[in-house]
Homo-oligomer: A and B are copies of this chain.
């Protein structure tokens, strides 16, 4: 499988993205996320804009996030329920209905140990079923090895592997034979969790920042005090403090609050 551009030019540079992501309308957009909050923290502003413009956004979540609580009384079954409910609440705020949330049902922190062949086959089937205009996913990029370990790394790699496989009918040919699913070339890939040097596209989310903060706050169990002793709601003081903390952390570019992405038009599929 050849890599024409890279081979003869020898470069993997970030090119100017061919489209204005936030202006898309009426498109099918699949977002893959390792946990039910990565999407909110990285993309809620952009997703809110896209949802408003009648794009069909489908969220696929690799794991159920059932490990990350310091509450000694918490069990994994209960945490999974909480995290599922929180994701539904966060998505609702930015305009994505619960029916559009799909869980791949792995346990938190265990994606690393999944069978990668089965995982790629499963996501390939998703892509061939929805035939998306855009796939949004965590960036499998060069700087990420250090902290992309386990769920992040696996989710990142697996999604692009599936994007590539989906394009060729001879990958998992039984999906065509038995499920009548045609191959599908994903025209646009949008990566989040990018480093500053890899980002090549920034969406101004100034108009959505309050909504994004509310969506982030919907993940109550991820924050103090709920992460240490679970409570499903916010004390007003806690909420104010956490929102203020988050606001200090936003990415600002040219004076605007933005979300950063790396957009790619097919190269990674090779």
Q: Can you show 17 pairs from A to B with CB atoms below 8 A apart?
A: A3-B193, A4-B246, A5-B249, A7-B193, A10-B195, A10-B199, A64-B178, A75-B77, A76-B76, A77-B177, A80-B174, A103-B177, A103-B178, A115-B118, A141-B146, A142-B143, A150-B161
Q: Please, which residue of chain B has its CB at the minimum distance from the CB of A198?
A: B146
Tell which of B117, B177, B270 touches A113, judged by Cβ atoms closer than 8 Å. Answer: B117
A 158-187 binary contact with B (CB < 8 Å = 1; else 0): 001100110011111111011000010000
Check A145 for interface membership: any CB of B closer than 8 A.
yes
Question: Contact partner of A157 among B70, B149, B246, CB < 8 A?
Answer: B149
Task: State in angstroms the CA–CA spacing of A250 and B173 once bound together.
Answer: 35
A55 to B250, CA, bound (A): 40
Asked if A9 lies at the interface with its beta carbon under 8 angstroms from chain B, I say yes
Q: Per-residue 0/1 for A213-225: is the Cβ within 8 Å of any B Cβ (1 yes, 0 no)? A: 0000001001000
Which B residues touch A9, using CB under 8 A? 249, 251
Docked complex: A244-270 residues within 8 A CB-CB of B: 246, 248-251, 260, 267-268, 270
Nearest Cβ on chain B to A139's Cβ, whole angstroms: 8
New A-B pairs, 15, CB < 8 Å, besides A75-B76, A75-B170:
A2-B41, A3-B38, A5-B249, A6-B193, A7-B249, A8-B249, A8-B251, A9-B251, A11-B195, A66-B170, A80-B173, A112-B161, A118-B118, A140-B149, A144-B145
Do B145 and A35 touch (CB < 8 A)? no
Q: Which residues of B lie under 8 Å from residue A80 when comparing CB positions? A: 173-174, 177
A173: contacting residue among B12, B77, B222, B267, CB under 8 A? B77
Is B145 touching A141 in the complex (CB atoms < 8 A)? yes
Task: Please give me the residue from chain B that is nearest to A114 by CB atom.
Answer: B118
Query: Is A105 in contact with chain B by the CB < 8 A criterion?
Result: yes
A79 at the interface (CB under 8 A from B): yes
A92 at the binding interface (Cβ < 8 Å): no
In the complex the two chains form, is A10's CB within 8 Å of B75's CB? no
Q: Is the CB of A145 within 8 A of B145?
A: yes
